[in-house]
Amino acid sequence: MISFDSKVDRDLRQYIEGINYYLPESIAVKEVNVMLDHFDPRKHALSRTYRYNIINSEKRYPLLNRSHFRVVNKLNISKINESINLFVGEHDFKQFSGPLPKGINTYREILDICVSKEQNVVQFIVKGKSFLRRQVRRMVGTLVDIGLDKVSYDQLKSFLDCSNKPIVYTTLPPQGLCLVNVEYPDIFYKNGEKI
């Protein structure tokens, strides 16, 4: 998500084509919206949805290295599903974040979280109002540890109930993480114009 001001009045498709012309092949603008002048993409977001992709296989998949993290041992998806909803709701996620500025509020609300498996691809979808640095990668890392029998349901519950208790967590690498959606109130879309 980026935002910018423009003094030039163009068709929205021209913005997509023009910006994509200058971007490298690995990045593309897919959607453009005209927003009200006081719109702030960070402050006005209602929710953000992240996807974390895992290849659960002993075999290597070199072509997926940039977008998936490989877990060699078989994940117990049933155990993950039993634990996953512990994250839903408002919790102190201080233990699941990276280094933070002093005085930051570490309470965050998770609106939804789910896991799916198709063949050897496991996807975690996490939707929240906002996130701390590294929070999603540490949440999913803990769920992977549950699926590998390294962490139990009760241990995860205690991590969330007792924010001062030090925990040993797995921080998954960034290559499996992707921001897939940001929702905004309709009031910020100028004339309801979207493309």
Cβ-based neighbour number of residue 59 at 10 Å:
8
Q: Which of 9-18, 89-98, 117-126, 163-172 has the lowest mean pLDDT?
A: 163-172
The confidence score (pLDDT) of residue 69 equals: 96
The confidence score (pLDDT) of residue 195 equals: 47
The confidence score (pLDDT) of residue 99 equals: 82
**At residue 31, does pLDDT exceed 90?**
no
pTM for this predicted structure? 0.86
pLDDT band for position 141 (cuts 50, 70, 90): very high
Q: Which of 67-81, 88-102, 135-149 has the lowest mean pLDDT?
A: 88-102
**At residue 166, does pLDDT exceed 70?**
no
| Domain-wise residue ranges, the chain | 47-181
pLDDT band for position 188 (cuts 50, 70, 90): confident
Which fold does the domain 47-181 belong to in CATH?
Answer: Alpha-Beta Plaits (3.30.70)
Of the two residues 173 and 10, the one the predictor is more confident about is: 173
Of the two residues 51 and 156, the one the predictor is more confident about is: 51
The confidence score (pLDDT) of residue 26 equals: 84
**At residue 181, does pLDDT exceed 80?**
yes
The confidence score (pLDDT) of residue 193 equals: 54
The residue-averaged pLDDT of 130-134 equals: 94
SS3 letters across the chain: CCCCCCCCCCCHHHHHHHHHHHCCCCCCCCCCEEECCCCCCCCCCCEEEEEEEEEECCCCCHHHCCCCEEECCCCCHHHHHHHHHHHCEEEECHHHCCCCCCCCCCEEEEEEEEEEEECCEEEEEEEECCCCCCHHHHHHHHHHHHHCCCCCHHHHHHHHHCCCCCCCCCCCCHHHEEEEEEECCHHHEEEEEEC
Q: Are strands 47-56 and 177-183 parallel, antiparallel or unpaired?
A: antiparallel
Average pLDDT, the chain: 89
The residue-averaged pLDDT of 97-120 equals: 92
The residue-averaged pLDDT of 35-53 equals: 89
